[in-house]
Structure 1
Amino acid sequence: MTPRPSSRLPRTTREAHTTMADRDATPLDDPVGASLRGRHAHLARRLGAAVTYQAEVATFSSVPAEPDERAWADLARLLGPGQLADLFSSPASPPPDWEPVFALDGRQLIWDGGDRVPAAPGDVTELGADDVPHMLDLVARTRPGPFWARTREMGAYLGVFDGGRLVAMAGERLRPPGWTEISAVCTAPEARGRGHAGRLVGALVSRIVARGERPFLHVAEANTGAIALYERLGFRTRRTVTFRGFRTP
């Protein structure tokens, strides 16, 4: 993806978005750690203060907000030498011998649609284990972000089929207390412009809100089309983030 000029929100704009509704959003400051130490504990690998997902579920890892040398050593041992430490949106800086792999500006958005909960569309199908090959094929064609053979175990995934082929998908990923992240929103090139992404996200919003939780999501800053779609659906920016990955020594 070709980077575009950053359009980070100015500090005054970010502060204006911080309302009383955000006071219960503390788990979103470390959504990976909050998920792995909570509802995704059954998908976690732990060593000391470090935690990461099991293989083929996700590459995301977490260390404390102010990690010491022991925390980084634990994460390095947990992942193994020369492996990707995907720190997601954590601002913590690893030791200098950890090789930078990527850094991508993004946003964290929270759903603020009030009573405007979308009605579930009839053409949406819940995806199961037998659909994983279709899901991986769609991901390979659309590249919505990290998605592996066991990612669907993180939550419910919904899709739209056309002629027996999966042409659109979205699902639940990180699960910090009180919140559920919507992720892997993607549509095959030949099926774009039909509103599939909006219907899938709307269906997930309905499910999440019905459980008494609140939806949130992450998006690359350069993906202005997706940001505009999410804002139309009732999401608003909570904060800007930088997604970062490093190679363990």
Structure 2
Amino acid sequence: MAQTVDVRGGGAPPTLEDHPPTQLPLQNRTFTGPAPQTRHPLDNAVWAALTGPHAHLAERVGLAARYPADVYAFAALADPADPAAWADLRRLAGPGATVRMKPVDHVPDGWTLLRRGEGVQLVATEALRTAPAPEAEPLGPADVPEILDLVARTRPGPFLARTVELGAYLGIRHRGRLIALAGERLRPAGWTEISAVCTAPGHRGRGLANRLVRAVAHGVRERGDTPFLHAAAGNTHAVRLYESLGFALRRRSAIVAVRTPGTPGEDRPL
């Protein structure tokens, strides 16, 4: 039988870095924005990215795909209602593996639903004013140690050794040290997610993250894509700030962690 374990769950306008993540109730806030559409690529953004612009990064078995473990720890199914897709995911991930993916209400027999985190998905509107940030510099593989250090201190979300390969990342330095960051993550066709937005303590309140978000969004629009992003549902400060920049709620979203059937290593040949 399938199991479920602990599915409870990350004047001038204020700046993004003024408010580190907080867990506040969301139900009293009213959002406006585009209504979700059936079969929209953002409804299954990881799958749309892995079978689209990020196909070169995809590890795939049939109806299941995932990013390499050191790029982005997420997997996706073509259709979570299809048992064949779950069978492919089990073959892809192996027995007894923990997999993070878009929300599902039920998992097949033998699988375990470990936890669930609630979030929101926002998309850019015409109100979003974008512009390059002259003080920002492109970041690449050589900058990863500094990026990981900044991410560890600010906790904007997961960033791994090869996450920088997902898209363009921009950073701002102070006296040679990286103090602010933003970049691109998921890329469904026609869309690009802005992610890893963070500013080092001691440099907040200067609008650095705002400028980086606008700069990353500028590059996204320059190639014809529409920016979007995700935020934790409880982080209402960040959501309000993204709205002040010109993003609007598209849908509520979530992340789940599931465990595949079996014991790790049981499929290995003797």
Corresponding position of 1:72: 86
Query: What's the TM-score, normalizing by structure 2?
Result: 0.82
2:60 matched to 1:49? Answer: no
Aligned to 2:194: 182
SS in 1 for 2:107: coil
1:242 Cα deviation (Å)?
1.6
**Equivalents in 1 of 2:29, 2:86: separation in Å?**
31
**1:30 aligns to 2:44 (yes or no):** yes
The answer on whether the counterparts of 1:108 and 1:241 sit within 8 Å (CA) in structure 2 is yes
Distance 1:215 1:93 in 2: 31
Displacement of 1:126: 0.7
Report what 1:18 is aligned to: 34
Which is higher, the Rg of structure 1 or of structure 2?
2
Aligned partner of 2:119 in structure 1 is 106
Contact 1:59 1:84 in 2 (8 A): no
Whether 1:83 aligns to 2:103 is no
Q: Give 1:1-249 correspondences, 5 Å limit.
A: 3-7=23-27, 17-18=33-34, 26-87=40-101, 89-91=102-104, 93-114=106-127, 117-249=129-261
Following TM superposition, by how much is the alpha carbon of 1:25 offset from its aligned partner in structure 2, in angstroms? 8.4
> How far did 1:24 drift?
10
- Equivalenced residue count is 241
Bigger relative CO (Cα 8 Å, ≥ 6 apart):
2
Structure 1 spans left out of the alignment, 5+ residues: none
SS in 1 for 2:165: helix
TM-score using structure 1 length: 0.88
1:86 aligned partner, one-letter code: R
Structure 1 residue 120: deviation in Å? Answer: 1.3
CA contact (8 A) 1:109 1:235 kept: yes
Residue by residue, what CA displacement relative to the aligned partner does 1:15-52 show, whole Å, maximum 9, x if unpaired? xx336xx7698111111000000100000001121111
Gaps of 5+ in 2: 1-9, 11-21, 262-270
